[in-house]
């Protein structure tokens, strides 16, 4: 993989694309400003503090940063917002920065159409994005290898900001496994990254979407994903939040035709003063649709994990089957878990339920492991690992499941007994 050449447009040129859309977003953002707790969706994540920093664009970095992890699929790499051109390996993806001034018709028809214009972060991203990916998968296409989009940020001399845009269209009966990774540093000035993803699934399409946020203790990751799921299509998303000073992601899925399905899962493994905020909404807008939400948090130190889950069933969405479940495991007295499950139902022939729980490690479980000769510290880590790793039980791709569970084990400093199982 070699650095991009002149074929990739500079950020100034890329940011000139979609002028009408950007103009509308700019006008909205000037009226809205950065979101505060007065906006219900940002009740737990007041972002007005971002105005105190003078953010500049990320500086181009020379060469690849050291210590990049092994690829989990066919990797495409962005370094400080600059695309490192893989040449013939680009396949079905196009770099948005290279096509923004002359976008293809499919991208023009999708970009800006699903993302909520009432969300200030959407408008901020629309104003500023200069890189990202456009994926247009034709009907029936099923790439064998997962596609990994890897965004890494190397700190500079000043607080930096990068704004990424993703747009995905999957044709009828196509299938894609997409891995999205955001990695930052623990040292240097603060780094702000924003991401907006718009996803459109045609009838029978399936997208397995694994997102990992590891922006470092100096990183702030703010994002929003909007997905529209057609008849018989399936959107499966797995989120992993760990090692980021502040991560907030809003995920909204609309099931627009009979037989549409979505399975959404996520885990927060936090320590120190890290905070992760998952704001999840599923809208059932057609008959015979199904959704599942399953989120967990393992919280240590002074960390804070937030899950707001909402199921909305429109009047015409009879025979809806929907559930949401969330749980938090507190490893210290200073950690905090905030959970808000919500149901909004306007149909009468539905199956909908939700559940939430938060607590410390069960003393009986701890005693059981200690009675088998395991020391208390190792027993606590084993319980925490099992609690977190369960989120990925339904990830039916063995290589990816193994990779994520190894990350969790390393994050929790799991003992050798667990590493042997993996």
Nearest to 290 by CA among 261, 255, 252: 261
Q: Parallel, antiparallel, or unpaired for β 234-242 and 261-270? A: parallel
Whether pTM > 0.85 for this model: the answer is yes
Residues ≥6 apart with Cβ < 8 Å to 145: 73, 74
Q: Specify the pLDDT at position 5.
A: 35
Nearest to 226 by CA among 247, 254, 245, 204: 254
The neighbouring-strand residues paired with 213 are 182, 241
Q: Specify the pLDDT at position 12.
A: 58
Q: Specify the pLDDT at position 421.
A: 61
Nearest to 32 by CA among 140, 121, 93, 150: 121
Tokens of 259: 């037989």
Give Cα 139 to chain centroid, integer Å: 25
Q: Specify the pLDDT at position 188.
A: 84
The radius of gyration of the chain's CA atoms, rounded to the nearest angstrom, is: 21
Q: Specify the pLDDT at position 63.
A: 64
The full length of the chain comes to: 422
DSSP character at residue 60: P
- Residues 420, 328, 246, 32, Cα dihedral to 10°: 150
pLDDT digits (tens, 9 = 90+) for 171-212: 999 999 999 999 998 888 899 999 999 999 999 999 999 999
Give Cα 228 to chain centroid, integer Å: 16
**What three-state secondary structure class fits 80?**
coil
With a cut of 70, list the residues of the chain below it in pLDDT. Answer: 1-15, 60-63, 85-91, 415-422
């Amino acid at each position: 993989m070699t650095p991009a050449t002149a074929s990739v447009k500079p950020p100034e040129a890329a940011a000139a694309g979609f002028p009408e859309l950007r103009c509308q977003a700019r006008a909205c953002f000037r009226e809205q400003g950065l979101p505060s707790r007065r906006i219900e969706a940002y009740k737990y994540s007041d972002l007005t503090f971002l105005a105190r920093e003078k953010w500049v664009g990320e500086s181009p970095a020379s060469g690849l940063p050291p210590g990049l992890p092994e690829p989990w699929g066919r990797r495409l790499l962005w370094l400080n917002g600059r695309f490192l051109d893989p040449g013939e390996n680009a396949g079905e993806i196009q770099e948005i920065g290279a096509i923004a001034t002359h976008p293809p018709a499919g991208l023009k028809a999708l970009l800006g159409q699903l993302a909520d214009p009432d969300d200030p972060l959407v408008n901020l991203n629309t104003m500023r994005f200069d890189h990202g990916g456009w994926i247009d998968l034709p009907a029936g296409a099923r790439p064998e290898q997962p596609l990994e989009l890897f965004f890494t940020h190397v700190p500079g001399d000043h607080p930096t900001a990068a704004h990424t845009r993703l747009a995905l269209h999957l044709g009828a009966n196509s299938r894609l496994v997409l891995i999205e990774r955001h990695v930052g540093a623990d040292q240097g000035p603060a780094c702000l990254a924003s991401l907006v993803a718009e996803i459109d699934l045609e009838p029978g399409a399936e997208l397995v979407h694994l997102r990992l946020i590891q922006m470092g203790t100096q990183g702030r990751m703010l994002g929003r994903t909007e997905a529209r799921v057609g008849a018989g299509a399936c959107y499966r998303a797995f989120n992993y939040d760990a090692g980021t000073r502040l991560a907030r992601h809003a995920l909204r899925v609309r099931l627009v035709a009979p037989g549409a399905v979505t399975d959404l899962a996520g885990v927060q493994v936090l320590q120190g003063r890290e905070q992760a905020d998952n704001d999840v909404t599923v809208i059932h807008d057609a008959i015979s649709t199904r959704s599942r939400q399953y989120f967990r948090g393992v919280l240590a130190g002074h960390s804070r994990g937030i899950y707001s889950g909402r199921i909305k069933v429109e009047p015409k969405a009879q025979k809806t089957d929907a559930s949401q479940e969330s749980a938090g495991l507190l490893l210290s007295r200073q950690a905090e878990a905030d959970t808000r499950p919500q149901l909004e139902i306007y149909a009468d022939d539905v199956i909908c339920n939700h559940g939430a729980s938060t607590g410390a490690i069960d003393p009986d479980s701890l005693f059981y492991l200690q009675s088998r000769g395991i020391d208390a510290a190792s027993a606590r880590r084993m319980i925490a690992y099992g609690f977190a790793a369960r989120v990925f039980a339904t990830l039916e791709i063995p290589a990816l499941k193994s990779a994520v569970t190894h990350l969790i084990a390393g994050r929790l400093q799991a003992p050798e007994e667990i590493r042997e199982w993996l």
